[in-house]
Amino acid sequence: MSAPTFAEELRARSDEDLEKLISNRPDLIYPVPNDFASLAARASSMPSLLRAVDDLNKWQLQILEAAAILREPFKPSELVAVTDTSAKSELENLWQIGLFYKEGNSYRIPTNLRQLLGPEPANLGPTIQTSFNLNNLDKAPNGTKEILEKLTWASPRGSISDGAKISKPLSWLVENGFLVKSNEKTVTLPREVGLALRGGKVHKFLEKTPPQINANTESTSQKIIDQSAIANISTVLRWVEELLHHLSDEPANALRTGGIGIRDLKRISEHIGIDEEICAFVCEISYLAGLLVVDVDEKILPTSAFDLWLTKSEEEKWYALVSVWQESSRNLNWNQNGDDKRLSPLGTDLEHPSVLPIKHAIFELFLLDDKTNLKSIEIEKSVEWLIPKRANKLILSSIIEELEWFGITGQNLLSTFGKNFLNNEDDLKITQALPKPVDHFVIQGDNTAVAPGPLLPEISAEIGQIADIASKGGATVFKFTESSIRRGLDHGKTGTQIIDFLRKYSKSNLPQPLEYLINDVAKRHGRLRVGSTHSYIRCEDESMISQILHDNRCEHLRLRKIAPQVLISDAENIDLLTELREYGYLPANENSSGVILNEPKLLRAKSRPKPPRAISDYSTPNQTVISTAIKSIRTGERSRKNISPVPSTSANETLSILQQHIQNNSTLIISYADTNGGLLTKMIDPKNIALGTLLAVDHATEQPVQFKISRIVGVSPAEVVS
């Protein structure tokens, strides 16, 4: 009697067992297989098996490896003998998800799964017919046991340094059947010998349960955790707002390969006052939330969604960012590929298949124990036990850091806000916890201003145009420089307006050096003007024209004097402005009429938001979808039994049989030509015929379906199917 196939075994499973199979491996029903043969082929295919194995924990992987060394079919008792008694229940779980199939009371492994596990599961060598006696080891020459110890738990293959002069211990092991020479340079420890040396057990240590997570011994109160977290929440929202305001003022250029270049990233990070790694993270979450986009002209600009985002409450803003990050499979760890390659924010190469599983594993641990210390070795071990095939320490550490930046954790412990978010609470308690915004700052004698808390949005936007952020914390320090004041003047402000603004909202008097700086920059601003011929420079001060023309730093701009007060260049307008500003000049832009373009700017992308689509595994389908899929598979199986294919019928015969079964309200099986030219076999209950179309209830979906009668090529009564 031949062994049953996987398809036959699946066919014999109950609907309840099939529901468990599909719930754990939802990829099996996308699209729904036609019958059990198709379901078995998909379930034993390499891509589907790889996805299923990637989701196993360490104990389940050990069960698979142990089963792979047994002769098929194997009994549960044989598996228990080489592992542990608890392996029996885990074997049943693995059978439920289709990684084993039954032959009576025994089990088999799909062939592709054996290939996936490799030829030497658990570092046990190949099966080689040899006779050996462990008792003979007591008489073995010195050095014999040391050789066996190296091969028993590590690789079963060893190299011979000199095949002509094989050592005495090695020669003895080969002669007594403990080792087999694969070739002149290699010896192999046979599987049976390796298993015997391991005491009949496949693994040295069985990892049946996840590592114990020790309670945090530090007495950190929830209040302190939440204080740290709310400070991070306030900060990350400010980062995003400042980034997008800055890109509206000075858009970044997208690389040809996608993403933000290192030069622009450094400029943005210096403006916001954060390091480049955090700046890259802020760019990414803004991109994911649709607040940022690479526009049609390859400029990176805020979208109109940013204006809508600004109108929301702080809690809504935070939720919009965290919810898209939670389901994103992108990761910015610059060393995630094991090299020094820097990954660009907004780039196309940031997807990593391990990101989402690691996030979900961490969240699962959080919900089990909200006092878990994320940086403890216990958490790393727990993630490695839960998803050993997907665990990546670099990505894990990166995600832990991002949790802290978001305020989901505070001092690496789960915050109240993070817990509410993970539990899908309606009120995250963020609004009540955030500090109230202030309407003032204090200007100091070193050209800085200190805001003692978060500023009102309109004041924050205003001071952000005329000052750079020097440092953050409980208070924000703004630094006034020549370039920052120039930026304000470019936005249509005058020196008088800047001074009036500072006097209005400062709790201290305006220092004289700062007032002098503002007036000096305002006086010089616009004396030098840049337009486009490609582009030109004009200035009433001929000495400045001469100075620029003879400035060695400007040689690459290929400037040419065409009048005492005019220079022209092949460089683009914006590039010429940027270069001259870097060299200490303060040019202003002007239009073709000679009018200075220093009105307020609010740049927004013309393109719609294009956040990257998350690459994730198939989501678990609901009960209705699963039940419908099973019914469709069983219907397809019945419709093919004994009637493959359905006999062809003429048009008149088809109509006659259809009308007869409509009157009798009985079941038919039809062969139907689809739009691709293929033939589908359907089991139906015909209801009526109108305008050349048959309305019938499809047994697979239990839904009414219309069939063109001209495409029905065969009809057969369902009674033919036994």
Domain extents in the chain:
6-123, 134-197, 223-433, 442-517, 527-589, 641-720
Residue 1's pLDDT is 47
CA of 114: how far to CAs of 66, 121, 139, 491, in Å? 11, 9, 38, 67
Rounded to whole angstroms, the Cα distance separating 472 from 274 reads: 9
Written as six digits, the tokens of 598 are 């220093």
pLDDT of 49 reads 94
Question: Residue 350 in contact with residue 331, Cβ under 8 Å?
Answer: yes
pLDDT along the chain (722 residues), means of 10: 78 92 91 87 92 93 94 93 92 94 92 90 87 84 87 86 68 88 85 91 91 64 89 90 87 85 89 87 93 86 89 92 92 54 77 88 80 64 90 87 91 88 91 85 91 82 83 79 86 87 91 90 81 78 88 85 85 82 84 62 65 63 87 77 65 85 85 77 86 86 85 77 40
The answer to whether residues 325 and 288 touch, using CB atoms and an 8 Å cutoff, is yes
Contact between 417 and 407 (Cβ < 8 Å): yes
35 touches 633 (CB < 8 A): yes
Say which amino acid occupies 149.
Answer: E
If residue 283 lies in a helix (H) or strand (E), which one and from where to where? helix 276-288
Options 1.10.10, 3.40.50, 1.25.40, 3.40.1620; which CATH number does 6-123 get? Answer: 1.10.10
Q: How far apart are CA 42 and CA 28, in angstroms?
A: 6
Neighbours of 41 (CB within 10 A): 13
134-197 CATH choice from 3.10.20, 1.10.3470, 1.10.10, 3.30.1490: 1.10.10
CATH architecture group of domain 641-720: Roll (2.30)
Please write down the HEC assignment for all residues of 143-191. Answer: CHHHHHHHHHHCCCEEECCCHHHCCHHHHHHHHCCCCEEEECCEEECCH
Rounded-to-10 torsion of CA 490, 492, 494, 500: -120
> What is the C-alpha separation between 21 and 93, in angstroms, rounded?
10
CA angle 306, 312, 318 (to 5 degrees): 85
pTM of the model: 0.71
Under 8 Å between Cβ of 188 and 180: yes
Which residues, in sequence order, are CB contacts of 174 under 8 Å at separation 6+? 166, 180, 181, 187
Q: Cα–Cα distance between 156 and 438 in angstroms, integer?
A: 70
Let me know the angle formed at the C-alpha of 716 by 715 and 717, rounded to the nearest 5 degrees: 135
How many C-beta atoms surround the C-beta of residue 142 within 10 A?
8
Which residue shows structure tokens 């690389």?
255
Q: Count, in order, helices (H) and strands (E) of the chain.
A: 29, 24
Residue 423 and residue 486 in contact, taking contact as beta carbons nearer than 8 Å: no
Shared fold status for 6-123 and 134-197: yes
Q: Where are the beta strands (DSSP E) in 399-485?
A: 409-410, 413-414, 442-443, 448-451, 468-471, 476-479
From the number of C-beta atoms within 10 Å of its C-beta (0-12, 13-18, 19+), residue 379 rates as buried
Q: How far apart are the first and last CA of the chain?
A: 24
Q: What is the b/e burial string over 494-521, where b = at least 16 CB atoms within 10 angstroms of the residue's CB?
A: ebebbbebbeebbeeeebeebbebbeeb
Strand partners, 683: 669
Looking at residue 102, what is its pLDDT?
92
pLDDT at residue number 219? 62
Q: What letter represents residue 377's amino acid?
A: I
Cβ proximity of 314 and 431 under 8 Å? yes
Which strands form 535-539's sheet, in the order they lie side by side? 560-563, 566-569, 535-539, 528-531, 588-589
